[in-house]
Each structure stands twice: as structure tokens, then as C-alpha cells.
Amino acid sequence: MNTTEPAPGQPLVTARELRKAYGSTPALCGASAALNAGEILALTGPSGSGKSTLLHCMAGIVRPDHGPVTYRAERLDSAPEERLSELRRTDFAVMFQFGQLIPELTTVDNVSLPLILNGTDRRTAQKQARTWLERFGVLDRVEARPGELSGGQAQRVALARALVTSPKAVFADEPTGALDSLAGEQVMTELTSAARESGAAVLLVTHDATIAAYADREIRLTDGRTATLEVSA
């Protein structure tokens, strides 16, 4: 297994000619993408174009029917589930549209959970969780449960949970889709700022051009196929 860190701008996670169908319905029809180290990459396109499926394949959540997915030089499409689970605890982080916080846990317990699952003692994990909650302006909600949070607060907690393990790559599937425009832009500002500070790469699924503008590059999907667009220099 190659553990060499890729230089900024070099491929970190790569998908080539992926095909994926759900029953008789094709989701990906030869889609390709490369998420480079340290960059923010947006996946855009109409509903049903395959954006989320491509992200899930690159995050090791879904296996493609055909085509390789590699992380550094490691094949993810054929890796055992135990290895994929390990990567999602250490090197990868995933954010979803509705946060998917555990409703029975407090804010600080939701954020510290990934660290605890990876062997960090509870006291240390909660200390790190509080640091991230303070950074994103929700430390005053540390004992609240998800049902007591606003949509914007919940996504800030989800963002803290995603970043608390210092991942190499963050996979964000419509992270602002359930928020109003102001809350969405605040979450994106915080995500991009934290990612650039830590050097994490971000793969972002969005249908919103305002959110896609935060990215360095854009890959547009249409009918399960991809085309790359430059967003900024």
C-alpha cells in the first residue's frame, strides 16, 4: 500500500470510467473524476445526473459495477468493507444534506464520536470536539440534542464532526441543500476556510451555482457522464 502523501494539486482520489446501475436504471455511464490533494472540487448537474452516486463511489460508500476508484495508489472499488470503514474513520469524512446527527446524542457527543470509535479516550475526544464547536460558533449548544438545533446549527455540528478527525478528504453531498441562502453560504465559508487551513481536499455535490463558486474546479454531470469546467484560477 502506498502511503506517500500526494503534493497539492496531485490526484488524491481518482475514478475512471465508472458505471453503476440500480436495477435497470443507469446512474453512471462512464463518469470520471479526480479529486486533487488540497483542492475543492464541485460536482454539479441536474437532478438524477449521477452526482451523489459518483461521490458515494469515490468515498467508498457505494461500489461501482465497473471502473476503478483509487485513493493514492490503493484500489477502493475492490477493497474489503473493513478497510473502507477504517478509511471513513480516519482519512475520509462525509457530510450529508440533513447532517445525519445521532438524535439521542448531545452535540459534543456527536462530534466526539468519530474520535472515540478510532480509539481516542472520551475526555480527549470531547476536548477536541469543543474546540471545533467553538470555532463554528455553536459551543453554546454543546449539550443540545439535534432536535433542539436550527438547520444551520445542525450543519455546523455536522461540519465539526467531519473535520474533528483531520481527514485527508471531505465528501460533502448537498451540505447546504436544506438551508436558506444565508446559512448555506455561512456553512460553505466555514467549510472552505477550515479545509484550506488543514490542507484537506473537498468533493462537493451541489445544484446551486452560488455554492459551486466556492470550488477551484467544477465537474458537470449529465446523464451519468462528466465534463470538467474551470471555476477559478
Q: Tell me the per-residue pLDDT of 9-61, one tens digit each, with 9 for 90 and over.
A: 788 999 999 999 999 999 999 999 999 999 999 999 988 899 999 999 999 99
Is 181's pLDDT higher than 90?
Answer: no
More confident residue, 51 or 233: 51
C-alpha cell at 228: 470538467
Measure the CA–CA gap between 7 and 38, rounded to whole angstroms: 8
What structural domains and CATH numbers belong to the chain?
A: 11-85+201-233 (3.40.50.300)
Give 201's strand partners.
169
Residue with the three cell numbers 436544506: 178
pLDDT score for 229: 54
Contact 172, 202 (CB under 8 A): yes
Instruction: Name the band, by pLDDT with cuts 50, 70 and 90, for residue 99.
Output: low
**Grid cell locating 150:** 436550527
What are residue 44's DSSP bridge partners?
220
Is the pLDDT at 226 greater than 50, yes or no? yes
pLDDT of residue 199: 92
Predicted confidence at residue 182, as pLDDT, reads: 85
If you count DSSP H runs as helices and E runs as strands, how many of each does the chain have, helices first?
7, 10
Mean pLDDT of the chain: 90
Question: Percentages helix, strand, coil for the chain, rounded to the nearest 5?
Answer: 35, 25, 40
For residues 97-101, average pLDDT: 75
Per-residue pLDDT band for 230 (boundaries 50, 70, 90) equals very low
pLDDT at residue 98, rounded to an integer: 67
